[in-house]
Structure 1
């Protein structure tokens, strides 16, 4: 009975945080595309800042040229989300250690080890002594393995502490290499959070070897202090750090404010509300960002590989491709989403996924999969050979989709926040 009460309370908090006016309808219609394609970003007016971390030069690109877009729509009848593991508690992220071993983050502060579909009794890492997860959007939120993890055993976590503030930290394995060492924590970032919601939490290494960190606008509703457009705060931004060039990190030389003029040196992109999962296409290097909307529109943002820093995705001047609050400066270029869907179509909170690059489902090559937390619907999104964007509903699940996962073979997984089940995308 207590667990049921907690679950109902948590569900209510999620719905309130997404500002949903009414519960989602059981059968949302297909997504409606935007008519505006991405535009080149513009930088905001400069404001001097004191010097911060050192800068590093851009490494040589590691991605291949853009792959051909999907040629035709996949057939949803040939796809199924099959249960792969169960017994998890509020799972929110996944990483693949290799050799059949997956790490799954539990929001309360544990990292669980799943071996060949079985959740192991002993956690890989337990940080419940320092993680605060009282709010529905607080807790242990993101993980990224170092690009050289197999050699150095380093990994990175993003969590909110017991005061509700964001911590991004680096960890090492225990001497036997079997578990994460809680005593090895080395903090890279500490960001004060004014409210309990919109913490972001994602961590991803880009094809350039740099660590990308997604932070929400600080919470409440409507970004009341305008943080997403303020270059002097890290909130409402995508950050980009060189975690190998210095301790705790260095600033990539081509970050838009790397010289300390005009904004925080760590910033890579601006104008985000609450980026809940983002991913680079491992073949093309293109970046996909799922940004949770306020009360009407959920959006997918896109930056092609090679885009310069300083992209501004519009919040809170715009929600999706629609005016929200205030009038932007005439010289400020805002990048609209490549796809959006309305809350009147049944959803409430977008959950970003991955571009499929596995081998088991060839018809999904180049398709970006994402879903909605409330409706449980999963869509595929791709760019046609003509350059337009197309989306298709691929599945209707009963899950509260908190995250997707991708293993080293490029196969995809789905995390159900409510039931604690891990699903894998397969053939029926």
Structure 2
């Protein structure tokens, strides 16, 4: 029997003073659980997530990966995107020609993947990496890997006589990246953490704008963040009575902030910044930046405002997006989202709308399991290609029903909307992660198995359609094929010529782009004069979006580059 947290001190006081028999107190506890069950919310957020007004496309740039889960550029290397694959590979993708190569391979240090053997699900693996802000000068890369337990770890919650499932290892690697694959010249282990169960590892690493390294840890796995329940045929251990999420004296369930260049940590291998919020605390690790998380997968910094946005995977009901503040307590496992969480003994936990005593920070936005099963954090968009997405947080859910039906969402912090995809209603794959390149453009990482096996993994770039609004056609990227056989990529704007029939459009603005912005579907052939716009969004007076395929023909001998609509546009969606 598990005590209901907020009533435990009162019950113990009653027992101590009145000498009530244990059987009587057990009945009282049973009644409190029944009372909580009566307040269970089966549909905590009834309103469904609506389709938003932003219609975009997904352009596959790489395939034949396994389970990609994180992608970023390296400092001073805008031509490449580096993609972490759960099975241990770090890929380098050339964004000009989309060629890929293995940059590093950590598969030999990982715990064997597949909780039920080869081909089965797992949350362990190569889970995070971050380039040092001065990587171009010092060659430093930081990694988070799930490795076999064995040696004594820096941090553990495992009781004496028991063994962890594995351990999380954060390393610093000094690379010589002039060759391919890169050469690791030096490896330094920064910290190790025992993991009680296979799941809830989190694993994201990011350098903040303060040049400190932030590391996300989940609550240690199992379910409900409590000892005693069954997990794969074994009782859950390593969480204690109150859970790791509410115990900032260990790394589990917390976001850490460290200085890799320092040495004042307990193991002497990294530094603890003097302005960390729990410096001098008797109850929290000085490394702790924020706590109360279940499985923070993932977090990122807004490149414009430096806001730290963290997505936390829920238990049975609520998925949430948080704005993280130094010293903040985000509630798990007393809360799931902004609801009260009831562990419910050895049965599945649930939420109620009862209050919870404590100083907690609630999510900015949240959704329930009518909409998905596990949130996947992304990035606030700050690129230049998609005006409508500017300043909005792009994220997703791994699979609405757990059957490879991932979803893509965006939010401005006030509501969640579903991304409107041009060529399909839903992505059609497991959403495993997101990426951001040096231009601020975003990527979706996926596979079709939901496991760290096989080679169905792919990377998709989020790209805009052309648009026609208020007499202007805005073309985000057009591949211009020149008379001499060369090609270039341009952003262009055309203006409708008033009273023209057939409709004519004049070029009023253009900008040459790098080849990494190339959109092979939108083309202008200088030899034939044909401008092909296969995806053009048009919004009517009621705000309804329709997408058309249009073909225009250059009008010869005009002082300004002019095109004429050569055939009736075809409705795409």
Instruction: With the length of structure 1 as denominator, give the TM-score of the two structures.
Output: 0.77
User: As a proportion of its length, which structure holds more strand?
Assistant: 2
Contact 2:334/2:356 (8 A) holds in 1: no
Secondary structure at 2:221 match in 1: coil
Residue 180 (structure 1) shift: 3.5
Alpha-carbon offset, residue 134 of structure 1: 3.2
CA shift, 1:152, in A, is: 1.2
From 172, 175, 178, the equivalent of 1:176 is 178
- Determine the C-alpha separation between the residues in 2 that align with 1:426 and 1:268: 35
Q: Which residue of 2 aligns with 1:240?
A: 257
| Partner in structure 1 of residue 276 of structure 2 | 255
Deviations 1:362-411 (A, max 9, x none): 2211100100000321111114xxxxx12221143112111100001100
1:31 corresponds to:
49
Counterpart position of 1:415: 445
**Larger Rg: 1 or 2?**
2
2:63 aligns with one of 78, 86, 89: 86
- Is residue 355 from structure 1 mapped to residue 370 from structure 2 by the alignment? no
Question: Pick from 65, 89, 113: which aligns with 1:110?
Answer: 89
5+ unaligned residues in a row in structure 2: which ranges?
1-45, 116-121, 150-165, 227-238, 344-353, 401-405, 421-425, 449-455, 466-573
Deviations 1:323-345 (A, max 9, x none): 11379984x30111111111123
Higher RCO (CA 8 Å, separation ≥ 6 residues): 1
Measure how far apart 1:119 and its partner are. Answer: 4.3
SS in 2 for 1:165: strand
Q: For residues 154 and 29 of structure 1, what CA distance do their matches in structure 2 show?
A: 46
Measured in 2, the distance between the counterparts of 1:217 and 1:89 equals 26
In structure 2, the partner of 1:162 is 148
Counterpart of 1:76 in structure 2 is: 54
Whether 1:101 and 2:83 are equivalent positions in the alignment is no
Q: Which runs of 4+ in 1 moved over 6 A?
A: 326-329
Aligned positions, number = 348
1:129 counterpart SS class = helix
Matched with 2:134 is: 148
Shift of 1:238: 0.5
Partner of 2:114: 134
Match of 1:37 in 2: none
Gaps of 5+ in 1: 1-27, 33-72, 384-388
- 1:20-419 matches, within 5 Å, as 30-31=48-49, 75-77=53-55, 79-97=56-74, 98-116=77-95, 117-121=97-101, 123-132=102-111, 133-135=113-115, 136-163=122-149, 164-174=166-176, 176=178, 178-182=180-184, 184-224=186-226, 225=239, 226-246=243-263, 248-259=269-280, 261-303=282-324, 307=325, 309-325=326-342, 330=357, 332-345=358-371, 347-375=372-400, 376-383=406-413, 389-395=414-420, 396-418=426-448, 419=456
Distance in 1 between the 2:300 and 2:245 partners? 20
Q: CA RMSD in A?
A: 2.2
Contact kept in structure 2, 1:112 and 1:119, CA below 8 Å:
no
CA 1:427–1:276 in structure 2 vs 1: closer, same or farther (change >3 Å)? same
- The worse-fitting range, judged by mean Cα deviation, of 359-368 and 317-326 is 317-326
User: Which residue of 2 is the match for residue 19 of structure 1?
Assistant: none
Task: Name the counterpart of 1:12.
Answer: none
Tell me, yes or no, if the aligned pair for 1:290 and 1:300 is still in contact at 8 Å. Answer: yes
Deviation at 1:112, TM superposition (A): 1.5
